[in-house]
Structure 1
Amino acid sequence: MESTSMRDRPDDMPKVELLPGVDDAHPVHPVTMSEWLAALPHPSATFSFENNILSVVAINSSFRRYFDPTMDEAVKPAHAAEWRNRIVQYVQSARDSESFELRRDGVLGPEYFHCTLGRLPELEGRPNLFLFTALDRTSDRAIEKNLRRELLSDGLTALPNRTGFGEEIDDRLRNTPWPDNAQFGIIAIDLSRFSRVNESLGPMAGDELLITVAKRLKSSLRQGDVLARIGGNDFAVFARLNNGLSDALHIVQRIRDALSYPIRLSDLQIRVDCAIGCALSLSLSEDPDDVVRKAQAAVKIAKRSGKVEIYRNGVLKEAQRRFSVESRLRDALAQGGLTLAFQPLIHLQTGEITGFEALARWNDDELGDVSPTEFIAVAEESGLITPLGRWAAYEAAQALSRWDAKFGQPLPVGVNVNLSPIQMARDDVASMFEEALRYSGISGNRLTAELTESAIVADPEKAKKLLFALKDLHMPIAMDDFGTGYSNLASLHSLPIDILKIDRSFVSSMLEDRDKEIMVRTILSLAESLGLHVTAEGIETQQLAHALQNLGCWQGQGYYFARPMAEADAFDYWRARWNFETV
């Protein structure tokens, strides 16, 4: 259709003018009620109600097609009585208008109508008339249903998502008969090593793996159980439990059996490992969301233990505590809320301070003093260990730089910085230390990297490349907690390690435990043959310090010498012992 611009509009356009009144706007047209209704495209009708009898006055063809009032009472569908009853209720009320939704069974499925009722002007000597209209909303409801299905389901596996899972549970609890002694359980399933599949084979292979796992899980469940995908690689099962924990464990075994044989992806066969946690409701009235959270708390423990975990009282509080610690730690890292404490390293033969070990400390306004054991574990689990490790390295190097400036020349001490195995796997550690040294202006031989045996065992080749990169920066390397891991002589000989730190579990009780003393002697002998220095941790008495001194141990640290202290106190401590002090 061609458009006409305002400039080209013809002069003989009809004049449009609104009349001032409403009642007398147009002359009365001799149009019947039926003719008025026939002009409406949707089902419409007028009714009268007199002597408690509802009568049809006029209808249009659309109304006849959907709401035939002449149909025999014996074959009328259920909706026929519903709209009649709604009209009678409205007529008997004092309301001017009313609307309601009506559902009827059509040839292609359910049909939905938005119905309205209104009173027509009263005519003297005639019964009151009422206008009924019905707008077909079937297509709208179908669109709403499809959108709702998309919102409540996972697009990849077609399983319910987290929101849909909650609605499925509510529906089962409301509309399914339950025995008096019945309860329900939630089984949470976390696919282990799923991220490696994505990284190695690509996201398409990861999607294929999830689809296959979903099919296997569904095939292992009983009728009435609900399977959902509630996260990236997290699934959950809602199960009715007539026999409590035994039913739940039976389902768990079926799940493990279903995932026990490998899945073929491309030309590879991949074994799917999973962590499973269970939570059982105390009663059918318990909030399902709470039970889901309990199951997820249990599965987190299962990821660490490698076993099926059943939720215990207090586990959810522990999970909530970890969440609070993670949230507050994230803020603390962003806002400079952590500090470094420094514990002296003492030369056992001369009593001189050879350096300090830098240890992260955190006092939070809401949580108070948080143990390093707690917040470092949370940092490793949440991925915050990378920024935490970088902060510690930069801050330790800057502390040395500040001490040098205060003393007027470089101090003859260094600082040891701990490396997490997870940080080594995820971060460019060599680049981190190079930046820390460059920004602070100190030499590499004053910053010692401490790593554990487990960090080397996890990926020996990657660890070897990292250690040689650190040696290029002239940094000493210490193996922490030596004796508790799985290192062998070949790895010690091939890696550029300078210091072995004997774990405190051997040192602290070596005077009372003959086996521990033999272990300490063996490590000292091994280090001597390999040309390595040895540091003993956990020295808490003078007797223990003298025993290690007599065994020829190079260096020690522990509460006997000093507890970890603030940066300024550490400098004063070094200055007070600078010249000499015997052990």
Structure 2
Amino acid sequence: MDSVSVRNWTVDTTDDTPLLGEGETHPAQRMPFTDWLAALPQAAAILTCDDSGIASINGNLPFRTAFGEPADRRQTNKPATEWRDRVIAFVQSGRASDSFEMRREGKLGPEYFLCTIGRLPDRQGMKAQYLFTAIDRTTERTIEKNLRRELLSDGLTALPNRTGFGEEIDDRIANSAWPDSAQFGIIAIDLSRFSRVNESLGPMAGDELLITVAKRLKSSLRQGDVLARIGGNDFAIFARLNNGLSDALHIVQRIRESMSMPIRLSDLQIRVDCAIGCALSINQDDDPDDVVRKAQAAVKIAKRTGKVEIYRNGVLKEAQRRFSIESRLRDALARGGLTLAYQPLIHLPTGEITGFEALARWEDEELGFVSPAEFIAVAEESGLITPLGRWAAYEAAQALSRWDAKFGQPLSVGVNVNLSPIQMARDDVASMFEEALRYSGVAGHRLTAEITESAIVADPDKARKLLVALKDLQMPIAMDDFGTGYSNLASLHSLPIDILKIDRSFVTSMLEDHDKQVIVRTILSLAESLNLKVTAEGIETQQLAHALQQMGCWQGQGYYFAKAMTEAEAYDYWRARWNFETI
């Protein structure tokens, strides 16, 4: 191809004549409204409005198809619909434009349109005209509805989830006929030992179990009741109660009957036990979410008692306080907000201090002083008992190390550290004590582990292995609260236990209660035959101290000698009594 130089192009000259104005530009290309509307993919029409109604001057095919309005035909003889009412309201408002969504029933179900209406420029001698458009949003709304259904329902059981449960309750309360005396109740159901099914048979079996349970629970419902899965193995039922608690207990009975037969999973038959808690509204204006929380608080108690529990006033406040304690305790453990107090252990024959029992104490900025019985129970329930127990062991060993440094040589005292059964089950306790002793440089015989009978009963083999590991560290073992649990002679004989601690419930009123005195004598006799030492808790008077001394009790602790004290006070107390003191 030959190249052409632009220098050889001819250039036409221009004049100064202006282009035609807006009204005269391309006059031959003007198109009627009908052609413009036909080019739009959505329904569109030019409307007029007067006292006789709405008329469509021009409307495209989507408009005529969707709204059934033939072009150039007045609709005064047709019943008014929502969109006409909205157009009339817009015309009367004087606004330049407006938009709204319209829903109507179609042949295949609900149809949704996003409608817009705007004023066209006024033309001299003509009625005011309005451009109306309607975009079909039925597909989008269907997708949104399906997504919302997925968000509000449980994918496994197809039941409402926690959010969907709340919406179902609101709908039932708002749109159902309620007698004046009627109230509603929430029945919360927790599947006991469900985690064991997952652990032993796998998650597929757990899912199959949940589906079967959901079907059985649904079969126990009355018409109008709502069943939901509000947690992993938690279900809840909303029920209208015409007869108050009587109706709720009737539903509970039906639930128990439906769950009485074993469930077959593969080749196994599994019996599912349920913890059931109920909460009743005072009237229909009660917040459903609040009633659900009350039912869940009741079911927590039912898990402990094994009975159907009805929510009592104050239970929810207790649950809220436990939650607050858990949150604050977690923070206190992270920033060192707890302390150890030390209660002396006294050798009854001589009055010498043989050691101290370390007791956790907590003074919180917001909660004030929190009882150990309260925060330790919360720690065990929440799993915080493991870091709490580790902190106590390390701190007790460090306290011994600091006392030794202050005195210039190792003291002739030790410290007892309590072990929770839950910590024994979840933590590597032997490793914890080994680290505590190694970090502090304290000999093992000066740190005594106090365990409870329940810890041994829960898993005897694991408890035996742990105690043997602690004995390898030269640590003494004390069985705390002896006499209140389920120990037998065989376990005492086979376990490497050194000390029995008689529970204070037997000691404190021993002089006034002959039966308790007999129990104390029996424990002392048993300990002597097994070559075990005995510590008596709860010694609060000199008479009790002398009586136990005469019975041959080795060691005691209680308010008669001293209350629990700080680390510095405990050291000073030991120094003051160091050179032998009789009771």
TM-score (norm 2): 0.93
Q: Is the contact between residue 187 and residue 276 of structure 2 (CA under 8 Å) also seen in structure 1? A: yes
- Letter of the 1:326 counterpart: E
What is the match of residue 432 of structure 1?
432
- For the pair 1:465 / 2:468, whether they are aligned, the reply is no
* Residue deviations 1:484-527 (CA, integer Å, cap 9, x gap): 11111111111111111111111111111111111111111111
Superposed displacement of residue 108, structure 1: 2.2
Provide the rounded CA distance (Å) in 2 between the counterparts of 1:202 and 1:470.
Answer: 35
What is the match of residue 127 of structure 2?
127
- 1:22–1:437 Cα change, 3 Å: farther
What is the match of residue 161 of structure 2?
161
Superposed displacement of residue 535, structure 1: 0.6
What is the match of residue 501 of structure 1?
501
SS for the counterpart of 2:468 is helix
Identify the range of structure 1 (99-108 vs 495-504) with the bigger mean alpha-carbon deviation: 99-108
What is the match of residue 173 of structure 1?
173
- Letter of the 2:491 counterpart: S
What is the match of residue 212 of structure 1?
212
Aligned residue-pair number: 563
Identify the range of structure 1 (83-92 vs 168-177) with the bigger mean alpha-carbon deviation: 83-92
* Residue deviations 1:520-557 (CA, integer Å, cap 9, x gap): 11111111111111111111111111111111111111
SS for the counterpart of 2:451 is strand
Counterpart mapping for 1:444-463 below 5 A:
444-463=444-463
Q: Is the contact between residue 362 and residue 370 of structure 2 (CA under 8 Å) also seen in structure 1? A: yes
- For the pair 1:545 / 2:527, whether they are aligned, the reply is no
- Letter of the 1:27 counterpart: H
Superposed displacement of residue 112, structure 1: 0.5
Provide the rounded CA distance (Å) in 2 between the counterparts of 1:475 and 1:246.
Answer: 57
Superposed displacement of residue 195, structure 1: 2.1
Superposed displacement of residue 53, structure 1: 3.5
What is the match of residue 55 of structure 1?
55
What is the match of residue 118 of structure 2?
118
- Letter of the 2:166 counterpart: G
* Residue deviations 1:51-70 (CA, integer Å, cap 9, x gap): 53422211111111111125
Q: Is the contact between residue 186 and residue 292 of structure 2 (CA under 8 Å) also seen in structure 1? A: yes
Superposed displacement of residue 290, structure 1: 1.2
Superposed displacement of residue 26, structure 1: 5.0
Provide the rounded CA distance (Å) in 2 between the counterparts of 1:217 and 1:26.
Answer: 77
- Letter of the 1:493 counterpart: H
- Letter of the 2:267 counterpart: D
Provide the rounded CA distance (Å) in 1 between the counterparts of 2:292 and 2:491.
Answer: 45
Q: Is the contact between residue 263 and residue 272 of structure 2 (CA under 8 Å) also seen in structure 1? A: yes
- Letter of the 2:26 counterpart: P
What is the match of residue 486 of structure 1?
486
Superposed displacement of residue 84, structure 1: 2.1
Provide the rounded CA distance (Å) in 2 between the counterparts of 1:556 and 1:21.
Answer: 114
Counterpart mapping for 1:417-428 below 5 A:
417-428=417-428
Identify the range of structure 1 (415-424 vs 22-31) with the bigger mean alpha-carbon deviation: 22-31
What is the match of residue 12 of structure 1?
none
TM-score (norm 1): 0.93
- 1:332–1:57 Cα change, 3 Å: same
Provide the rounded CA distance (Å) in 1 between the counterparts of 2:286 and 2:234.
Answer: 23
What is the match of residue 442 of structure 1?
442
Identify the range of structure 1 (260-269 vs 343-352) with the bigger mean alpha-carbon deviation: 260-269
Identify the range of structure 1 (208-217 vs 524-533) with the bigger mean alpha-carbon deviation: 208-217
Superposed displacement of residue 22, structure 1: 9.6
Provide the rounded CA distance (Å) in 2 between the counterparts of 1:52 and 1:75.
Answer: 10
* Residue deviations 1:61-113 (CA, integer Å, cap 9, x gap): 1111111125999997x8x6222222222222211111111112223221100
SS for the counterpart of 2:81 is helix
- Letter of the 1:185 counterpart: G
Superposed displacement of residue 158, structure 1: 1.7
Provide the rounded CA distance (Å) in 1 between the counterparts of 2:62 and 2:120.
Answer: 21
Provide the rounded CA distance (Å) in 2 between the counterparts of 1:98 and 1:314.
Answer: 53
What is the match of residue 315 of structure 1?
315
- Letter of the 2:270 counterpart: I
Counterpart mapping for 1:274-353 below 5 A:
274-353=274-353
- Letter of the 2:226 counterpart: V
What is the match of residue 189 of structure 1?
189
What is the match of residue 3 of structure 1?
none
* Residue deviations 1:159-184 (CA, integer Å, cap 9, x gap): 11111111111100100010010000
What is the match of residue 15 of structure 2?
none
- 1:96–1:493 Cα change, 3 Å: same
Provide the rounded CA distance (Å) in 1 between the counterparts of 2:577 and 2:285.
Answer: 67
Provide the rounded CA distance (Å) in 2 between the counterparts of 1:87 and 1:391.
Answer: 73
Superposed displacement of residue 24, structure 1: 6.1
What is the match of residue 221 of structure 1?
221
SS for the counterpart of 1:122 is coil
Counterpart mapping for 1:228-267 below 5 A:
228-267=228-267
- 1:342–1:34 Cα change, 3 Å: same
Provide the rounded CA distance (Å) in 1 between the counterparts of 2:111 and 2:53.
Answer: 28
Provide the rounded CA distance (Å) in 1 between the counterparts of 2:19 and 2:314.
Answer: 77
- 1:21–1:475 Cα change, 3 Å: farther
What is the match of residue 406 of structure 1?
406
Superposed displacement of residue 191, structure 1: 1.6
Q: Is the contact between residue 54 and residue 74 of structure 2 (CA under 8 Å) also seen in structure 1? A: no
What is the match of residue 531 of structure 2?
531
- Letter of the 2:97 counterpart: S
Superposed displacement of residue 407, structure 1: 0.9
Counterpart mapping for 1:558-577 below 5 A:
558-577=558-577
What is the match of residue 394 of structure 1?
394
Provide the rounded CA distance (Å) in 1 between the counterparts of 2:347 and 2:201.
Answer: 52
Provide the rounded CA distance (Å) in 2 between the counterparts of 1:253 and 1:566.
Answer: 54
SS for the counterpart of 1:159 is coil
Superposed displacement of residue 559, structure 1: 0.7
Provide the rounded CA distance (Å) in 2 between the counterparts of 1:92 and 1:558.
Answer: 88
* Residue deviations 1:402-454 (CA, integer Å, cap 9, x gap): 11111111111111100111111111111111111111111111111101111
- 1:96–1:199 Cα change, 3 Å: same
Superposed displacement of residue 25, structure 1: 9.7
Provide the rounded CA distance (Å) in 2 between the counterparts of 1:176 and 1:242.
Answer: 13
Provide the rounded CA distance (Å) in 2 between the counterparts of 1:21 and 1:191.
Answer: 84
Superposed displacement of residue 218, structure 1: 1.2
Provide the rounded CA distance (Å) in 2 between the counterparts of 1:230 and 1:381.
Answer: 21
- Letter of the 2:302 counterpart: A
SS for the counterpart of 1:282 is coil
* Residue deviations 1:451-492 (CA, integer Å, cap 9, x gap): 111111111111111111111111111100111111111111
What is the match of residue 27 of structure 1?
26
- Letter of the 2:62 counterpart: S
- For the pair 1:202 / 2:202, whether they are aligned, the reply is yes
Counterpart mapping for 1:56-75 below 5 A:
56-70=56-70
* Aligned Cα root-mean-square deviation (Å): 2.0
- Letter of the 1:106 counterpart: G
Identify the range of structure 1 (214-223 vs 199-208) with the bigger mean alpha-carbon deviation: 199-208
What is the match of residue 11 of structure 1?
none
What is the match of residue 4 of structure 2?
none
What is the match of residue 12 of structure 2?
none
Q: Which runs of 5+ in 1 are unaligned?
A: 1-18
Superposed displacement of residue 264, structure 1: 2.2
Provide the rounded CA distance (Å) in 2 between the counterparts of 1:75 and 1:537.
Answer: 96
Q: Which runs of 5+ in 2 are unaligned?
A: 1-17
Provide the rounded CA distance (Å) in 1 between the counterparts of 2:374 and 2:77.
Answer: 72
Superposed displacement of residue 562, structure 1: 0.7
Provide the rounded CA distance (Å) in 2 between the counterparts of 1:511 and 1:471.
Answer: 36
- For the pair 1:515 / 2:511, whether they are aligned, the reply is no
Provide the rounded CA distance (Å) in 1 between the counterparts of 2:566 and 2:384.
Answer: 23
- 1:356–1:26 Cα change, 3 Å: farther
